[in-house]
Structure 1
């Protein structure tokens, strides 16, 4: 407890230093800047404005109340990060949930790290720190990656180095932005997972995407079931043409009979030696049991 009190007292001392208009710190080269930059400072909440570059656009009210309750009991454990705009004026770089929760319970001050940066550096700091530290939903992460690429003008390779993620991971997030906006909203609201979204990306037609999305919600399909449903829909289009042409007559006829019998888009592959595979796709557990009963001759 004594350690925490000492830290808070130090923060208040630095805060007083920042309120000296005759020695206002405007850059890292100014007098006393080394005492402030990189240290924890107690800042008044009403001197801080929200960062317009903040990638998070929605905040769960229940989650905020839980965080506010924790802050009421334990204080702000992890300081927010701000950049100095002018005399006694700051802007959030990261930590908006802590900032909002602190205001929710009526706190006057909040511990903060102060950085001196231009707008572009602030944008990059906000996006990178939020990607790494905040529990953003997949669409918010994708939008953050997109903004970094477009506004900071970095390549996916350079972005990979900056955020410590594989380029393929970044590409997978960016592909989510090709989904229908309704599906993106559903992912942000937690109705479907990123895994569902990645499966739906393989369906180019947006109306078809929405049809599958409605099935995911109504039938509570898992990611694996969704992937199977997408494959069954795209099956005839994605099956190698050479396999269809090379099917022996007996296999070609059987494929049509099985498709009609099982009411499923059966796939058949036969190699030159006569060995092959029979693939019967199903959409979910109920569909699988239906096909199984049909094969067994049961109703």
Structure 2
């Protein structure tokens, strides 16, 4: 507890230093820069503007409220990162969910690491730090890689070094951007996996891609089934699902799937064997999403 109090007091002291016009730190060479840069500072939320380079575009409202509730009870455990623009003005680099959640519950300040970076460095930091997150969907990651290529002029080899991923992994993500936009959206919404997308991308014609995508959803095809379908098309130029992949669900299951999907907020997968026994699969996209589903299950008891 004593350590936490000392850390917070230090943050307040640094905040006071930043508000002193005679200590307007603009570069790492300025006086007192070493006391601020890389340290945790309590910053007023009103002094921080959003990052125009933020690669993340989807923020689930329910998970934001859950994070806000957690912050209300425990505080902001992991500081955000900002870059200094000018005197008493900052721009968010990473931590937008924590920033948004803190504003939701009316916090006035938030712990932050301060960095000094130009626009290009800020974009690269935001993209690289966001790629490391566990809750980004494959298309968000692919778009971040593409922006590093287009706007920072990084090669795949340089990206591999920056993000600690194999070049082949980066190439696989980038290839997903060749999928029809409807399929990309389906992947972002969790209707199909990255494995499905990697199989479909082996067909260049986007009309055929969509045909296969519809077959996947209609027949609940696995990644292996999808790969078989793609190989079949490349051999015969026809898209037809073998009978063994077609599983007709009982009427009572068909009637109930929609209710399940609406309740949990995800497309629910149901498989039924020939003896009448089945399995219900509920997908989740992040720790917050898992906890949200857990609460729904507990509430239904």
User: How would you bin the TM-score normalised by the shorter chain?
Assistant: 0.7 to 0.9
CA-based RMSD of the aligned residues comes to 1.9
Normalised to the residue count of structure 2, the TM-score between the two structures is: 0.78
State the Cα deviation string for residues 189-220 of structure 1 (Å, max 9, x = none): 11111111111101211111111111222222
Structure 1 unmatched ranges of 5 or more: 238-263, 266-280, 288-299
In the other structure, the counterpart of 1:60 is: 60
The 2-side partners of 1:63 and 1:75 are apart by 16
Structure 2 unmatched ranges of 5 or more: 249-301
The 2-side partners of 1:14 and 1:283 are apart by 67
Per the alignment, in what secondary structure is the counterpart of residue 133 of structure 1? coil
Q: Which moved more, 1:183-192 or 1:225-234?
A: 225-234
In the other structure, the counterpart of 2:275 is: none
State the Cα deviation string for residues 96-140 of structure 1 (Å, max 9, x = none): 111111111111110000000111111111101111135211111
CA contact (8 A) 2:219 2:246 kept: no
* CA distance 1:105–1:60, change in 2 (3 Å): same
The 2-side partners of 1:174 and 1:282 are apart by 34
1:284 and 2:264 aligned: no
Higher relative contact order (CA closer than 8 Å, sequence separation 6+): 2
Deviation at 1:12, TM superposition (A): 1.1
CA contact (8 A) 1:179 1:197 kept: yes
Deviation at 1:283, TM superposition (A): 6.6
Deviation at 1:90, TM superposition (A): 0.5
CA contact (8 A) 1:93 1:122 kept: yes
In the other structure, the counterpart of 1:178 is: 178
The 2-side partners of 1:183 and 1:137 are apart by 13
* CA distance 1:28–1:207, change in 2 (3 Å): same
In the other structure, the counterpart of 2:219 is: 219
Deviation at 1:93, TM superposition (A): 0.7
CA contact (8 A) 1:225 1:283 kept: no
| Matched positions, count | 247
* CA distance 1:110–1:3, change in 2 (3 Å): same
In the other structure, the counterpart of 1:12 is: 12
CA contact (8 A) 2:203 2:230 kept: yes
Per the alignment, in what secondary structure is the counterpart of residue 43 of structure 1? strand
Deviation at 1:2, TM superposition (A): 2.7
1:1-299 → structure 2 map (5 Å cutoff): 1-236=1-236, 284=245, 286=247
* CA distance 1:283–1:113, change in 2 (3 Å): farther
Deviation at 1:183, TM superposition (A): 0.7
Divergent runs of 4+, >4 A: none
